[in-house]
């Protein structure tokens, strides 16, 4: 059991949600979206509305099953242990992929200060160093993680708000036209943009994973989820519009750090450095929050005898240190395996596969909610929102592309022999 003094309050739990969503995504995604032009803003709007709908689903589940191990418990209730394990395994893999991309994003924005980091060998070494630093924070316990998350989240929203203010003062409407500058059809461009932007909303469920480490989980987890997602949605939309108002799609596409460059155009090099600093803090805070989920998920599976016991062994600060070391070795391996690509391409490839694995979790939870309607029509009123969410998730899964789907399915299939070994032989 965790001592009540070793738990985080509402302010830390809401910053866990906001901080896990506002990370590298909003700072790096403009580069990936720039080839489609301002039509990508529709992607942000669609993604945001679905994220709010998903937040309602997680809010309801967290109230119904307070203090449980979040995604595993919810999926287990609907589909049983085997499906729950496969789905949560995929979700864990998505976090490992995401954390690799976050470390790379920190390195990408660090090139503003140290241009030598653009060298492939240096940027890989630096990305690994970033993983090591965050591991030290995690080692010190949930209080340290919560405080770091709170302060980095408070800092990271500053550049987005500044971009909104500056962008609307120096707004160039010509940057928005033509809406679609790609060779894709409008529908294809919106589909790809929505798929990419939905990545920035991954983390909706962040407060539900470490519920046992949150005070008053029935109240705080549901409030953190709904308030955090809505706040993030508004900030994403306004800052994305403002960024396009400052930089043309071509300028964004040729940038390693678009928010830093936007600040530099208006306020000079000092602002460029300041924006880059904010982006680095943002990605570090996001990596901090996701690292908590990265070690809590296998710990919860281990407690259910579905993962090796080593993942549930905790240090004096109630942190599963062995799980931290093992999972970070995997993250470092993912970074190293991509050394032949440039930073922006590595980031895009990692997030698409990560998005697919997380979408599978969301899809099964949504299907579970829909099945309740067929079992008892009284659930129609409260669960109806799951139907449009289901259609959207299928659309998104198709949108990630066949390469990411095949890789994601391969990663999911690895869970099957692990499950049967743990269940019948371990």
Q: Mean pLDDT over residues 258-273, rounded? A: 78
pLDDT at position 1 = 44
Q: Mean pLDDT over residues 37-60, rounded? A: 93
Q: Mean pLDDT over residues 372-400, rounded? A: 89
Percentage of residues in the chain having pLDDT higher than 90: 42
Contact 323, 310 (CB under 8 A): yes
Nearest to 156, CA basis, from 206, 106, 120, 118: 106
Bond from prior residue into 178 cis (ω within 30 degrees of 0): yes
d(CA 101, CA 344): 10
Domain 4-424 falls in which CATH fold?
Answer: Amino acid/polyamine transporter I (1.20.1740)
Distance of CA 92 to the CA centre of its chain: 12
Query: For 22-46, how does the pLDDT look when each residue is reduced to its tens digit (9 = 90+)?
Result: 876 677 788 889 999 999 999 999 9
How do the domains of the chain map onto residue ranges?
Answer: 4-424
Q: Taking 90 as the threshold, does the pLDDT of residue 394 lie above it?
A: yes
pLDDT at position 86 = 96
101-115, 311-325, 328-342: the lowest-pLDDT one:
328-342
Joined tokens for residue 371: 């099945």
Give, in order, the Cα–Cα distances in Å from 210 to each of 245, 282, 382. 39, 21, 26
d(CA 251, CA 144): 39
pLDDT at position 263 = 77
Query: For 278-309, how does the pLDDT look when each residue is reduced to its tens digit (9 = 90+)?
Result: 888 988 999 999 999 999 999 989 988 999 99
Give, in order, the Cα–Cα distances in Å from 334 to each of 19, 253, 356, 370, 412. 23, 25, 17, 36, 16
> 89: part of which helix (H) or strand (E)?
helix 81-110
Q: Taking 70 as the threshold, does the pLDDT of residue 4 lie above it?
A: no
In this structure, what DSSP letter does residue 257 have?
S
pLDDT at position 25 = 66
Q: Mean pLDDT over residues 231-252, rounded? A: 92
Residues 6+ apart with CB under 8 A from 138: 144, 145, 288, 291, 292, 295, 319, 324
pTM for the predicted model, two decimal places: 0.85
d(CA 13, CA 4): 15
Q: Quick count: other Cβ atoms within 10 Å of Cβ 5?
A: 7
Residues 6+ apart with CB under 8 A from 391: none
Q: Mean pLDDT over residues 360-384, rounded? A: 90
Q: How big is the CA angle at 295 (ends 291 and 296), to the nearest 5 degrees?
A: 110
Query: For 206-237, how does the pLDDT look when each residue is reduced to its tens digit (9 = 90+)?
Result: 888 777 778 888 888 888 999 999 999 999 99
Joined tokens for residue 308: 């090796």
pLDDT at position 346 = 60
Give, in order, the Cα–Cα distances in Å from 378 to each of 57, 363, 367, 385. 16, 22, 17, 14
Contact 143, 6 (CB under 8 A): yes
Query: For 333-354, how does the pLDDT look when each residue is reduced to its tens digit (9 = 90+)?
Result: 888 876 655 555 665 667 778 8
**Burial class for 128, CB neighbours closer than 10 Å (0-12, 13-18, 19+):** middle
Please, which pLDDT band fits residue 182 given cuts at 50, 70 and 90? very high
Q: Mean pLDDT over residues 163-173, rounded? A: 85
Joined tokens for residue 356: 């697919």
d(CA 218, CA 17): 16
Joined tokens for residue 393: 């998730």
Please, which pLDDT band fits residue 2 given cuts at 50, 70 and 90? very low
Residues 6+ apart with CB under 8 A from 378: none
Q: Mean pLDDT over residues 189-207, rounded? A: 86
Q: Over the Cα atoms of the chain, what is R_g?
A: 20
Average pLDDT of the chain, as a whole number: 87
For residue 8, the cross-strand partners are 214
């Amino acid at each position: 059991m965790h001592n009540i003094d070793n738990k985080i309050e509402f302010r830390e739990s809401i910053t866990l949600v906001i901080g896990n969503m506002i990370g590298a995504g909003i700072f790096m995604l403009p580069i990936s979206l720039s080839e489609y032009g301002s039509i990508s803003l529709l992607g942000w709007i669609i993604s945001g509305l679905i994220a709010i709908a998903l937040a309602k689903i997680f809010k309801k589940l967290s109230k119904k099953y307070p203090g449980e191990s979040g995604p595993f418990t919810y999926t287990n209730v609907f589909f049983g242990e085997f499906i729950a394990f496969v789905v949560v395994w995929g979700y864990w893999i998505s976090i490992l992929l995401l954390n690799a991309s976050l470390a790379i994003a920190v390195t990408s924005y660090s090139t503003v200060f140290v241009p030598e980091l653009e060298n492939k060998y240096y940027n890989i070494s630096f990305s690994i160093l970033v993983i090591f630093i965050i591991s030290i924070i995690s080692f010190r316990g949930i209080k340290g993680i919560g405080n770091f998350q709170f302060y980095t989240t408070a800092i990271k929203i500053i550049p987005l708000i500044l971009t909104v203010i500056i962008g609307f003062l120096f707004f160039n409407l010509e940057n928005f036209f033509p809406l679609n500058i790609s060779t894709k059809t409008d529908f294809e461009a919106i589909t790809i943009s929505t798929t990419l932007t939905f990545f920035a909303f991954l983390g909706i469920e962040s407060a539900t994973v470490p519920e046992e480490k949150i005070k008053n989980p029935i109240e705080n987890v549901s409030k953190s989820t709904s308030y955090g997602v809505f706040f993030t949605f508004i900030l994403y939309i306004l800052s994305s519009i403002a960024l396009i108002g400052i930089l043309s799609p071509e300028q964004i596409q040729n940038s390693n750090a678009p928010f830093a460059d936007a600040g530099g155009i208006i306020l000079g090099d000092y602002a460029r450095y300041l924006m880059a600093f904010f982006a680095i803090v943002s990605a570090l805070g996001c990596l901090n929050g996701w690292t908590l989920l990265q070690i809590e998920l296998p710990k919860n599976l281990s407690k259910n005898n579905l993962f090796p016991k080593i993942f549930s062994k905790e240090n004096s600060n109630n942190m599963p240190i062995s799980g931290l070391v093992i999972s970070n070795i995997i993250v470092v391996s993912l970074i190293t395996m991509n050394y032949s690509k440039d930073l922006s391409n590595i980031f895009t490839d990692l997030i698409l596969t990560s998005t697919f694995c997380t979408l599978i979790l969301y899809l099964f939870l949504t299907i579970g909610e829909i099945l309740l309607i067929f079992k008892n029509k009284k659930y129609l009123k409260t669960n109806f929102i799951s139907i449009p969410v289901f259609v959207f998730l299928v659309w998104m899964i198709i949108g990630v592309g066949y390469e990411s789907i095949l890789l994601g399915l391969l990663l999911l299939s690895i869970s099957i022999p692990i499950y049967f070994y743990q269940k019948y032989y371990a």
